[in-house]
Amino acid sequence: MSMIVNAELAARFGLSAEEYQKVLDIMGRVPSLTELGIFSVMWSEHCSYKSSRVHLKTLPTKAPWVIHGPGENAGVVDIGDGLAAVFKMESHNHPSFIEPYQGAATGVGGILRDVFTMGARPVANLNALRFGDPSLPVTQRVIDGVVRGIGGYGNCVGVPTVGGEINFHPAYNGNPLVNAMTVGIASQDKIFLSAAAGIGNPVVYVGSKTGRDGIHGATMSSAEFDEHAASKRPTVQVGDPFTEKLLIEACLELMATDAIVAIQDMGAAGLTSSAVEMAGKGGVGIELDLDHVPQRETGMTAYEMMLSESQERMLMVLKPDRTDVARAIFEKWDLDFAIVGVLTDTAHITVKHLARSRRIFLLHRWLMRHRFIIAR
């Protein structure tokens, strides 16, 4: 991919002039295309909540029955008898306007992964939907795709939709609200978290192969829409609920062992956000070798692999002596399993891609605020 990195390209990637100048100040140089892409997705509203965080902080999050509040893949509350309810709600508004079926379906798939990532078996889906004037052809198109996407993904995975609500108002003519929710049940003593730990522990990729779908999906989801919204269709992910079902069963089977140190869904910003969040929460570094990432397309670049939002993928940190056990489980369920990295004490994310280039990117997690310092 040949592009000149400058303020104009940064603006196309969703960065303001002030944000791009901050990138230059942090790095002391012009970033590479891959580095710019990483900044843009991690500084997007979808990943960093930069405009909504102030409002989210006003919501109640603590109580005697709250086991895990904000900061993990899903919320966890005590429901008695040693059990916990694990739940997550997520919006997939922009993707559902551009590509209604896949936009809504992958919204369901994403929150299912957030819930079983915590060690819970998903038992119920819910939704809250807002559409525009139902007499408009565009609204009818969106309703049809969204309803089929939500129902289709949940039915294929085998998790029922037990409740929902729907409202119509002209204010939503240009963009619907598509809120999906999943609830799961877990043992309170078997909750899995995402903070990476253990210098030298292997970083493992499991699930589906990485493709070119969904690249810059987080950036698109954070942008304002105009008459050219349809051109953003390639940024919408493509879901495979049958693979998701296999992934649920494989992960829950592995969770019954003592192999997992940390686990994270590859959601928005894909491999980038999952690696960075795990490293940041654990206060460690990760060295990734993209040559080991399972790929379903040929000639993929570091930019594409780091920003792909292909669905049904997870990142794990495993105990070194348990990788063979984990590999056997995922291969039994016909899923990809690859050791793609290792934890380090550098506090950097080091990304190598020697198949196409010998260049190495060193990405440093800037505290816990979705910021990067990048050096050669």
> Which residues make Cβ contacts (< 8 Å) with residue 219, sequence separation at least 6?
13, 14, 40, 41, 44, 46, 235
Distance CA 207, CA 244 (A): 8
* Euclidean distance between CA atoms 193 and 42, whole angstroms: 21
User: Which residues are identified as catalytic?
Assistant: 46, 92
Asked if 196 contacts 278 with a C-beta cutoff of 8 angstroms, the reply is: yes
Q: Which residues contact 343 (CB under 8 A, 6 or more apart)?
A: 196, 197, 198, 199, 200, 201, 203, 279, 282, 284, 285, 286, 317
Task: State the DSSP H helix or E strand holding residue 261, giving kind and residue range, or none if neither.
Answer: strand 260-265
Could you give the CA distance from residue 328 to residue 324 in angstroms, rounded to a whole number? 6
Half-sphere exposure of 52 (CA within 13 A, CB side): 10
